[in-house]
Amino acid sequence: MTERRLIQNFRGMRAILWAGPDFAPDTLDRTLARLGVETARMEEVDLAGLDRDRDVLFIDGDQPLAPEVVLAPGSALPLVPGIGIVGIEAPSRLKLLTEAGVTALLRKPVHAATVYSALFLGVNNFRRLRAMETRLAEGERRRNGRRFVIKAVVALVRGQGLDDDEAYARLRRESMRRRLELEEFCEALLLEGGGTIPAGWPTVSREPMDHRHATYPDDDGRRDGVADADGGPCGGPDQARRA
C-alpha cells in the first residue's frame, strides 16, 4: 500500500461547529480564518450535503449530544472528520465524543496554538481510519467470496482433470483478463454453470458477471490519498484495488 499523504494545508475547508449556545467561538473562528478555513454552525448546514474532502466537524462535548446524528452509515466514523471540544472531562461526555468518532481534541477554553494541531490530527487520522475501514470491508467481502473460489477449483479438478494449482492459476488468469476479482469471477462462473463449471470453459463467448457491477458502493479507496490535486503516487485504480 502506498504511503497515505498527509493534508497539511486546510485552506478552502469548512468547519462546522456543533456547539451549545454558551460556547464562545471567537478564538476558534479567528484561528480557523488564519488557516483559510471558513466556519458555519451545525444548524445552518444540511448534513446530507456534507463533503468529507471539504468539511470538518467541531463537536462540543458539553452540550446534549446524539452521536449517531453525525455517524456515516455502517461506520464507526462520522460523515466528515470530527474534532471533539472538551470542557467537562467526565467519562460520560468523553464517551459521547468517542461514539461520534472524533479523531482529535481541543480543550476548552480553545487556545489558538492548538487549533492547527487538532485540524492536522483530526483530518489525517480520519482519513487513515476511513481507509482502514474500507480495506477491512473489502477484505471481509473477499473472504466471503473465497468459498466460490474453492468450489470453482474443485469443479475444475473434477471436470477437467487439472491439479488444484493448475486450476487455480487458470481461474486467476481468466479473472485478470476480464478485469474482475477472482472471487467475483468464480461466483459468476458457478452461477452461469448452475453450480459447476460451464461446459467448454474457458472458451465461453459471453462475459459472465452481468448481475454485478464491477465497482463498489464505497469508492473512497480510490479517492482518498490517490487521486489528489498533486497527482500523488498511484498505480491506477484497477491495480490498486485488484492486485
Q: Which residues bind other proteins (CB under 8 A)?
A: 5-12, 27, 31, 33-36, 111-113, 116, 228-230, 232
To other proteins, the closest distance from the beta carbon of 33 in angstroms equals 7
Alpha carbon 48 to chain centroid distance?
Answer: 17
The amino acid present at 158, given as its one-letter code, is R
- Provide the sign of the torsion angle of the four alpha carbons 199, 200, 202, 203, taken in this order: negative
Phi, psi of 204 (to 5 degrees): -65, 145
Instruction: Report the distance separating Cα 110 and Cα 155, nearest Å.
Output: 65
To other proteins, the closest distance from the beta carbon of 7 in angstroms equals 5
Which residue lies nearer to other proteins by CB, 27 or 39?
27
Asked if residues 31 and 112 have their Cβ atoms less than 8 Å apart, the reply is: yes
Instruction: Report the distance separating Cα 184 and Cα 209, nearest Å.
Output: 8
Which residue lies nearer to other proteins by CB, 53 or 99?
53
Asked if residues 218 and 180 have their Cβ atoms less than 8 Å apart, the reply is: no
Which residue lies nearer to other proteins by CB, 33 or 176?
33
Which residue lies nearer to other proteins by CB, 27 or 125?
27
Asked if residues 19 and 51 have their Cβ atoms less than 8 Å apart, the reply is: no
Which residue lies nearer to other proteins by CB, 210 or 228?
228
Q: What is the CA radius of gyration of the chain?
A: 24
To other proteins, the closest distance from the beta carbon of 62 in angstroms equals 23
To other proteins, the closest distance from the beta carbon of 126 in angstroms equals 14
Closest of 227, 193, 226, 230 to residue 208, by C-alpha: 193
To other proteins, the closest distance from the beta carbon of 25 in angstroms equals 15
Which residue lies nearer to other proteins by CB, 53 or 138?
53
To other proteins, the closest distance from the beta carbon of 14 in angstroms equals 13
Instruction: Report the distance separating Cα 69 and Cα 135, nearest Å.
Output: 24
